[in-house]
Structure 1
Amino acid sequence: MDKLDPERRSRNMARVQAKNTGPEMRVRRIAHRLGLRFRLHRADLPGKPDLVFPRHGIAVFVHGCFWHRHVDCKRASIPATRLEFWEKKFKANVARDLKQQTALEASGWTVLVFWECELKDESSIEERLRSATNISLQFKS
Structure 2
Amino acid sequence: MRAVKSRDTRPELLVARLLRGARVRYRRDVARLPGRPDFLLVEADIALFVHGCFWHGHDCPRGARAPKNNRDYWLAKIARNRRRDRRVARELREAGYAVWTLWECGLKPIEKSGELPTRLLNEVRRRGG
TM > 0.5: yes
Q: Given the alignment of the two structures, is residue 87 of structure 1 paired with residue 75 of structure 2, yes or no?
A: yes
Q: Given the alignment of the two structures, is residue 26 of structure 1 paired with residue 17 of structure 2, yes or no?
A: no
Which amino acid in 2 is paired with 1:82? N
**CA contact under 8 A between 1:119 and 1:125: conserved in structure 2?**
no
- Size of the aligned set, in residue pairs, is 122
SS where residue 62 of structure 1 aligns?
Answer: strand
Which amino acid in 1 is paired with 2:77? K
- Aligned with 1:134 (options 87, 101, 125): 125
CA distance, structure 2, for counterparts of residue 130 and residue 69 of structure 1: 26
Q: Given the alignment of the two structures, is residue 48 of structure 1 paired with residue 48 of structure 2, yes or no?
A: no
Alignment correspondent of 2:85 = 97
Q: In the TM superposition, what is the alpha-carbon distance from 1:134 to its structure 2 partner?
A: 1.9
Alignment correspondent of 2:47 = 59
SS where residue 121 of structure 2 aligns?
Answer: helix
**TM superposition score normalised by structure 2:** 0.89
SS where residue 84 of structure 2 aligns?
Answer: helix
**TM superposition score normalised by structure 1:** 0.82
SS where residue 80 of structure 2 aligns?
Answer: helix
Q: Given the alignment of the two structures, is residue 109 of structure 1 paired with residue 97 of structure 2, yes or no?
A: yes
Alignment correspondent of 1:74 = 61
CA distance, structure 2, for counterparts of residue 87 and residue 79 of structure 1: 8
CA distance, structure 1, for counterparts of residue 67 and residue 104 of structure 2: 19
Q: In the TM superposition, what is the alpha-carbon distance from 1:126 to its structure 2 partner?
A: 3.7
CA distance, structure 2, for counterparts of residue 61 and residue 132 of structure 1: 15
Q: Which runs of 5+ in 2 are unaligned?
A: none
Query: Hey, which bits of structure 1, 4+ residues long, moved more than 4 A?
Result: none
Q: In the TM superposition, what is the alpha-carbon distance from 1:127 to its structure 2 partner?
A: 1.5
Identical columns (%): 37
CA distance, structure 2, for counterparts of residue 132 and residue 116 of structure 1: 21
Larger radius of gyration: 1
CA distance, structure 2, for counterparts of residue 89 and residue 121 of structure 1: 29
